[in-house]
Structure 1
Amino acid sequence: MTKLLFLLFVLLNLDAYELSRNYEYENNIIYSDDLFPTIEKKFEILKIPSDQDHYRLDAQVIAKTFELNGISIDSTKTRYVNFTKRSPVDFSLLKQQLASMFTERYPTIRIDDITISSRGYLPALPKNVRGVFDERFYQNGSGTFYYFDEQGIRHYLDYSVRATISVLHSNQKVSRKERLSGFNTLLKPIPFVSFKDIPLTSIPNQPARFRSNLKGGQLLTVRNIETIPLVLKNEKVIVEVQDKGVIVEFGARATQEGALYDIITIQKNDGKRAKAKVIGENRVELL
């Protein structure tokens, strides 16, 4: 029973204190609560030379120091721990840029906090610094970007955004080619972590429909929908025929759907079929 309780105590400690790969510091002496702020026992871990802005230490050495002080930590996920001196720079401009870019992409986003950290010591930032982001950065709440200094050298930074985004979800089972509307969708706030594709935060201005059958409660992305074609199969269309500057119109039935400038087949009232080009909503031009 005693061994079981001891094992449980060790496991709880491992869950509570998991060693990370990177830490920032202000003072050269690193204490236990610099690594784990909630730890009750404070003791020295190491002293970093004052002339260094970055220091690397074997994770097992740190784990052994904690063990000697009666505390077990989980160091299995990292081999080395990097300590980087906290840069005395203001990331406000970059945070504003991030907030603006995310808000432009997601009008329904509510940003609670943005953190930016450097991968090395930075004495200063360019006056009008601008970050350079990957084209798919907006699909992740955390990631990496870079900026150029006055000498044209890249400096990489890590960012993390704590936010919620209201995203469209299906509120019932929907069928393929069913029209997207406020009757079969609802906006639902979710934590912004990562998206495999661009989420829908509003119903598109152009009429859209579902690409496939979906269950109720499914998060909707741009891949789930498509713009409704100007001409639908079996719908009546107006056919334009141009002859020596004169335009003649008559009615027919579309035997297939088509987007703008698509070539489709139509069936005339006499049953004969012909090729036509889509030129507008339910309008085609005879070829």
Structure 2
Amino acid sequence: MTLKILFLFLFSIKLIAGTELKNEYYVESEEIRLSSIFPATTNDALLFQITQGRYTKRVQAKELIALLDSYGYKDLESKNEYIQFTKQAPLDFKAIEEELKTLYRQRYKQIKIQSIEIHPRGYLDTLPQEYTLGMQSKSHLKRQGTFYIKTKQSKKIFFDFNINATIDVYFAREDIKRNTELSAINTIKKSIILDKFRAQPLQNVTSGTVQSKQNIKKNTLLTSRDIVELQLVRRGESVSVLLEKDNMSISFSAEALEDGVYEQIIEVQQQNGTKIKIKVTGKNRGEVI
């Protein structure tokens, strides 16, 4: 029995070893306890106290690591020189979390959100009943960042957030040359963790819609920076033009004088030298406007 207890003790020590500490922890009172860092601890203890009238306390990481070591939490690490503890009132943020989820779902059509965590940047003891949620235009490209809620009085309350989610994106299946149509042949769909992107990831590849903006290396994550609308008509090519007039349809060929994408107005030249405007309707097709 003694050996079994010793084994369980050593196993528990191993489980809590080698943890990387966060740069910030949130507490609901002035007391900073062992459970504030390790909620599952069975031997809770008071570590620090936030000064009355204040809402944060910064502790040197090496001081905290040494203190936690004395409680059996070995080999802890920190990327930060200081670790901050912030007092946060026990408010219900579920409605705000749902709005933030909705915003991400609007940006990513095939997103699977596992969890989301938000914290006010300052101390809050109440939440406004009416507000609008806003964030910077590129904040959705990261899994963590800052957003705000704006009250009826135009006051902005800022929050930090961290979202754990996966999204469906597309990668280059092979090296893709500039001005090449993207399709299932040269791209591949994958599910990845939402982390940090340089631009909006491509979430759908439909043949006949987009082409590469520049040369793309194999296994590159495709984003909005890598694509442009597919050129359905190219300068110098022959275009089949449709003219509808007086309940009659006339079709003739003309030379494209410029490139064109779907529904773009371009100029073409007929065989007799006459130049006319057409609207691009398909691959090397258009109609007189």
TM-score (ref. length: structure 2): 0.74
Task: Could you tell me which runs of 5 or more consecutive residues in structure 2 were left unpaired when the two chains were aligned.
Answer: 1-13, 244-248
Within the candidate set 220, 223, 228, 1:221 is matched to 223
Could you say which residue in structure 1 is the equivalent of 2:280? 280
Alignment length, in residue pairs? Answer: 265
| In 2, Cα distance between equivalents of 1:212 and 1:218 | 12
Is contact 2:181–2:207 with CA below 8 Å preserved after alignment? no
| In 1, Cα distance between equivalents of 2:258 and 2:152 | 59
Is contact 1:171–1:186 with CA below 8 Å preserved after alignment? yes
Within the candidate set 161, 167, 170, 2:169 is matched to 167
| In 2, Cα distance between equivalents of 1:131 and 1:199 | 23
Task: Could you tell me which runs of 5 or more consecutive residues in structure 1 were left unpaired when the two chains were aligned.
Answer: 1-11, 242-246
Q: Which amino acid aligns with 1:121?
A: Y
Is contact 1:19–1:78 with CA below 8 Å preserved after alignment? no
Deviation track 1:168-225 (CA, whole Å, cap 9, x = no partner) reads: 1222333322222222222100000011011111125862112233333221111222
Q: Assess, with a 3 A threshold, how the Cα gap between structure 1 residues 65 and 217 changes in structure 2: closer, same or farther.
A: closer
| In 2, Cα distance between equivalents of 1:60 and 1:91 | 33
| In 1, Cα distance between equivalents of 2:186 and 2:19 | 46
| In 2, Cα distance between equivalents of 1:74 and 1:186 | 39
Matched, 1:100 2:106: no
Structure 1 SS opposite 2:101: helix
| In 2, Cα distance between equivalents of 1:56 and 1:224 | 44
Q: Which amino acid aligns with 1:229?
A: Q
Q: Which amino acid aligns with 1:167?
A: V
Q: Assess, with a 3 A threshold, how the Cα gap between structure 1 residues 114 and 66 changes in structure 2: closer, same or farther.
A: closer
Q: Assess, with a 3 A threshold, how the Cα gap between structure 1 residues 55 and 47 changes in structure 2: closer, same or farther.
A: same
Cα offset, 1:92, TM superposition: 1.1
Query: 1:1-287, aligned counterparts within 5 Å?
Result: 16-36=18-38, 43-59=45-61, 61-62=63-64, 65=67, 74=77, 77-79=80-82, 81-149=83-151, 151-204=153-206, 207-238=209-240, 250-254=252-256, 256-259=258-261, 260-263=264-267, 266=269, 269=271, 277-281=277-281, 282-283=285-286
Is contact 2:201–2:221 with CA below 8 Å preserved after alignment? yes
TM-score (ref. length: structure 1): 0.75
Deviation track 1:128-181 (CA, whole Å, cap 9, x = no partner) reads: 333211111211111001123455432210111100001012223333222222
Q: Which amino acid aligns with 1:107?
A: K
| In 2, Cα distance between equivalents of 1:150 and 1:275 | 57
Structure 2 SS opposite 1:84: strand
| In 1, Cα distance between equivalents of 2:93 and 2:224 | 33
Structure 2 SS opposite 1:193: coil
Cα offset, 1:32, TM superposition: 3.8
Is contact 1:211–1:226 with CA below 8 Å preserved after alignment? yes
Q: Assess, with a 3 A threshold, how the Cα gap between structure 1 residues 67 and 163 changes in structure 2: closer, same or farther.
A: closer
Structure 2 SS opposite 1:96: helix
For the aligned residues, what is the CA RMSD?
3.7
| In 2, Cα distance between equivalents of 1:114 and 1:68 | 33
Structure 2 SS opposite 1:117: strand
**Percent sequence identity over matched residues?**
26
